[in-house]
A and B are shown apart, each in its own frame.
Chain A
Amino acid sequence: MYREQPQTEQQLVSLLQGGSPFAFERLFENYSQKLYRFSLSYLKSETEAEEIVQDVFMKLWENRHYLRSDTSFQSYLFTIAFNAIRKHFNKKSRDEKYAASILEYLASENASIETNPDYELLVTKLEQLIGQMPDRRKEIFMKRKKEGMSVRDIALTMDISPKTVENQITEAMNFLKKKFQKDSTLGMVFLYIFQY
């Protein structure tokens, strides 16, 4: 099929420019792992990191005619990747950001929440605590905070009064406030150490 095996990246790039699927595949093999892990580190989601790899390489192929062998390929690849990562990062939906907004609120009562160096652990703790809530309260709380449903819609969907909805949400927040109080951060540090 191909008489010589291209060695240098420059040769691969120029073959790719000519539309060589072989060169495309070699470049994919060379860079996909790094691109995946890099994207994963910013987006924190394996699915999204895979999508980035797909989007970037697809774009690379679509624009192959514009490739220039005098500029750095890695730099060019990075430019495509940066735009994709930024777009994905900003597209984070409400239900992905709900934990951050709850913790922001709790931080107003306990400043150490904001500076605690292991944010991801705080999110885990928050999710665990929500899981401990009684079923109905948990449902109401998640509908409001994660799905963003209005109090009125929650009341209608669950066939309860809006006042009940509000009370349940207040109870839930009080519970969380108590658990995240200043003196219980000691408990979190303990948990943190234990995990290591």
Chain B
Amino acid sequence: MKEQIDYKILKNFASGHYSLKDFTQVSRWFKDPGSEAELKITIEQHWNEFPIEIVEGEKDLSSVLNLLKHKIASEKPSVNLKIKFQRFYTQAAAILLLPLLLYSIYSTFLATSSSDNSSLVEIYSPQGARTHFQLPDGTKGWLNSGSTLKYATNFLGNRKVQLSGEAWFEVIHNKDKPFVVSTPALDVQVLGTKFNVAAFLNEKVTEVVLQEGKVQVDGTDKKFTAELKPNERFIYDALLKTSTIQNVNADQFSAWKDGLLVFRNEPLSEVLNRIGRWYNVEIVMTDPMLQKFRYRATFQEEQIEEVIRLISLTAPIEYSFNNRKVDDKGTFKKRSIIIRRKAN
């Protein structure tokens, strides 16, 4: 049924002066496929009359723009455009890394047999970025740099995710459907709560830090099981095969999601390791003696040059930055920093 679309009613609706009757009518116009063409013409009329300048305050859309720029920059560019992109965005890259809401959700569907219902959705957070995610049940969280989260499309029936890397979770309470985070060494089972899990592939330690609520940590093959209370940190060392529980300030462990880089009395090697991951830079430390220096610090939105400089104020290090190079295939390599012990 083709209705006559009333421009005045549409305009009133847009400006907030409308009745229930108007609202019902407008909803019908939007819904009815037969009205689409006429609706478009009418709304375009409104668009053409809509002022481009603003009288009231501007809305801050910089986060949207930054997200778009990041997506554009992470596309695989064709060879001759590569240089153009890199030069434009290198300046922005350091600023893009920390304070942003990077909403890059990138899914891959791996279809297997239909009875198996095991199509996987994958969320990936690129190196040097933090990514916010939301799962089908409303659970929200953050994925840290270089981390991946996977879940099956039947997630609502079986709330299980696989994590490689580090993530912060704010799990929606559902006592009939426990939420499970699966990592290579252990599973974390929760009811409704906030916690951080760190399980990096090339690291031999898996950690769970609980902020609020209650979780149960189960080792694979039932090697161990533990129940955590808020502000407890569970550490499993895969090499030594030991598990420990410490009392900590949980906020420090999830600070990364707010763009804060926090070090809590960590050896310099660990500090540099994390800085490397955070900024997506390769850090090479040539002197193992430097390990004995421990750091407690918080960095917020600093450029990497500043962070290394600050560290060098109290540790006897010398450093040099090798800026991005192109290898013979034409791909850009990560920046690298070489850290040496300062002579004398």
Contacts and interface: CB of A to CB of B under 8 A. Distances in A.
A53 B68 CA distance: 10
Query: Which bracket fits the contact residues of B?
Result: 35 or more
Interface in B134-190: none
Contacts of B61: 32-33, 36, 50, 53
B30 interface: yes
B173 to A, nearest CB: 13
B64 A54 contact: yes
B72 A119 contact: no
20 contacts: A21-B89, A24-B72, A32-B61, A36-B59, A36-B61, A38-B50, A42-B14, A53-B61, A57-B64, A58-B68, A58-B71, A61-B68, A61-B72, A74-B48, A75-B44, A89-B27, A89-B30, A117-B18, A118-B17, A120-B16
B47 A78 contact: yes
Interface in B1-41: 13-24, 27, 30-31, 36, 39-40
A82 interface: yes
A82 B13 CA distance: 16
Contacts of B48: 74
A81 B40 CA distance: 10
Given A19-B81, A22-B88, 20 more contacts: A1-B88, A21-B73, A25-B69, A28-B65, A30-B52, A31-B52, A36-B59, A42-B14, A54-B64, A57-B68, A78-B47, A82-B40, A82-B43, A86-B36, A104-B24, A113-B20, A114-B20, A115-B21, A117-B17, A117-B19
A35 to B, nearest CB: 9
Given A34-B50, A82-B43, A116 B19 contact: yes
A129 to B, nearest CB: 16
Interface in A7-62: 19-22, 24-25, 28, 30-34, 36-38, 41-42, 46, 50, 53-54, 57-58, 61
B313 interface: no
Nearest to A49: B59
Nearest to B54: A33
B116 interface: no
Contact of B30 (A25, A81, A86): A86
Q: Closest 5 interchain pairs by CB?
A: A41-B14, A114-B21, A89-B30, A114-B20, A34-B52
B241 to A, nearest CB: 44
B223 interface: no
A38 B13 CA distance: 12
B68 A28 contact: yes
Nearest to B103: A54
A75 B47 CA distance: 9
Contacts of A155: none
A20 B81 CA distance: 9
A70 B50 CA distance: 23
B221 interface: no
Contacts of B54: 33, 37
Contacts of A114: 19-21
A31 B53 CA distance: 10
A63 interface: no
Contacts of B68: 24, 28, 54, 57-58, 61
